Amino acid sequence: MPIEERVLIAGAGPVGLVAAANLIRGGVPVTVFEAGPDLSEESRASTFHPPTLDMLDRLGAARPLIAQGLTAPAFQYRTRRGGVLAQFDFGAIADVTAHPYRVQCEQSKLTRILYHQLRDKPHFELQFDAQVKDVTQHRSGVEIAIERKGRSETRPGRWLLGADGARSDVRRSLGIEFPGFTWPERFLVVSTPFDFRTVIPDLVAVSYVSDPERWHFLLQIPGLCRVMFPVAPHESDELAVSGDFAQSLMATVVPGVSNYEVAHVTLYKVHQRVAKTFQCGRAFLAGDAAHINNPLGGMGMNGGIHDAINLTSRLIEIWHDGKAEGELERYDRQRRLVTLEYIEKQSIQNKRNLESDGATSAAAWRRSRPTSGAPTSTCCGCP
């Protein structure tokens, strides 16, 4: 089969669509294959960190995202009994980012913004109901097998990006291992329209509250507060998603306040896994297909967006300037190292800090992150 001069992307999540947007901006034709009938509505990531906003700005997507989200110029680390342990003010890094704040906004808003901007571009194509099932590689191209409403077809391209999430078919088809572990506890997210600032006056939009038994975090998005708790292994899924169980956890947040209005309850299994490699010939992995971690610190999607920008910026240079394709090996070296040494370690440490008593977490906090002055890195690692 002749090569089609375009990049193929599996998955129209935030990582696949950021990759597509950067390629289109760089003049590289793209086809995205999305298994679902539409863009996902699932409520998952809602935190965008400063370096990610800087990247999205270059794609013209930061401004509409900020308009639909909530700007959080600071976040807190608290204990259940002692109140605020530390507050990190993003103003401290205003010299290295044009966006010295977090934006709290659902990831489904970003995918819609990007799709809206891309859909009429001449070299952009998105096919729904198209599940990438298999990958074959040649010396100068790739060929993918797609299943669409029970029918199979193939499509050739120059490179393939697997941005098809944690259960990636691309990763499986390439035979890339995904070692790591699954935490015994699950995480429960309870969303409520209740405004916690009416009962905790010094609360900011993002607050992590440590406790050895029932840590939680409070994360404001427009119109809702998302409260996340751990659920012990002995508590069944059925119990965990029941209204009474959610109310019993919510009643521990502020003494004397109970019977919350609950908008959604969602239970998640939580993993820490990194693919053995992010590249196999002309095929690459990015985002959850390449790495997954617990959501404490909001580094999964942010890290995936950084993967997408790193890889596609290299592809654009090769496409136009004829740079050697060996350059692409740096993608795996750089992003896998950042994932292993930073995202995985920091997200595990964030969980440990929340599970500790106040004194231990205060010490850990001071060791890991200054409360004044710029942090040592502007990568997306803010807890």
Q: Tokens 């985002």 label which residue?
A: 287
Using rule CB under 6 A, residue 230 touches ligand FAD: no
Q: How far is the CB of 321 from ligand FAD (least distance, A)?
A: 28
DSSP code at position 2: P
Q: Are 84 and 202 in contact (CB under 8 A)?
A: yes
Q: In what helix (H) or strand (E) does residue 357 lie, and over which residues does it extend?
A: none
Q: Tokens 């502020």 label which residue?
A: 254
Q: Which of 107, 220, 279, 312 binds ligand FAD (CB under 6 A)?
A: 107
Using rule CB under 6 A, residue 131 touches ligand FAD: yes
Q: Which is nearer to ligand FAD, 219 or 316 (CB)?
A: 219
Using rule CB under 6 A, residue 143 touches ligand FAD: no
Residues 6 or more apart from 80 whose CB is under 8 A from it? Answer: 209, 210, 211, 214, 358
Q: Which of 3, 25, 26, 36 binds ligand FAD (CB under 6 A)?
A: 36
Q: Which of 13-21, 61-69, 174-182, 354-362 is the region at the interface with ligand FAD (rule: CB under 6 A)?
A: 13-21
User: Following DSSP, what letter does each residue of 71-126 receive, concatenated?
Assistant: EESEEEEEETTTEEEEEEEGGGGTTT-S--SEEE--HHHHHHHHHHHHTT-TTEEE
Helix%, strand%, coil% for the chain, nearest 5: 35, 25, 40
Q: Which of 195-203, 208-216, 256-264, 287-295 is the region at the interface with ligand FAD (rule: CB under 6 A)?
A: 287-295
Using rule CB under 6 A, residue 169 touches ligand FAD: yes
Q: Which of 5-13, 69-77, 234-242, 273-281 is the region at the interface with ligand FAD (rule: CB under 6 A)?
A: 5-13
Q: Which of 132, 227, 231, 283 binds ligand FAD (CB under 6 A)?
A: 132
Give the whole-angstrom CA distance, residue 306 versus residue 309: 5
Q: How many residues does the chain have?
A: 383
What radius of gyration, in Å, describes the C-alpha atoms of the chain? 21
Q: How far is the CB of 106 from ligand FAD (least distance, A)?
A: 9
Q: Which of 56-64, 72-80, 295-303, 369-377 is the region at the interface with ligand FAD (rule: CB under 6 A)?
A: 295-303
Q: How far is the CB of 75 from ligand FAD (least distance, A)?
A: 12
Q: Are 269 and 295 in contact (CB under 8 A)?
A: no
Using rule CB under 6 A, residue 157 touches ligand FAD: no
Binding site for ligand FAD (CB under 6 A): 10-16, 33-36, 40, 44-47, 107, 131-132, 163-165, 169, 189, 268, 287-288, 295, 298-302, 304
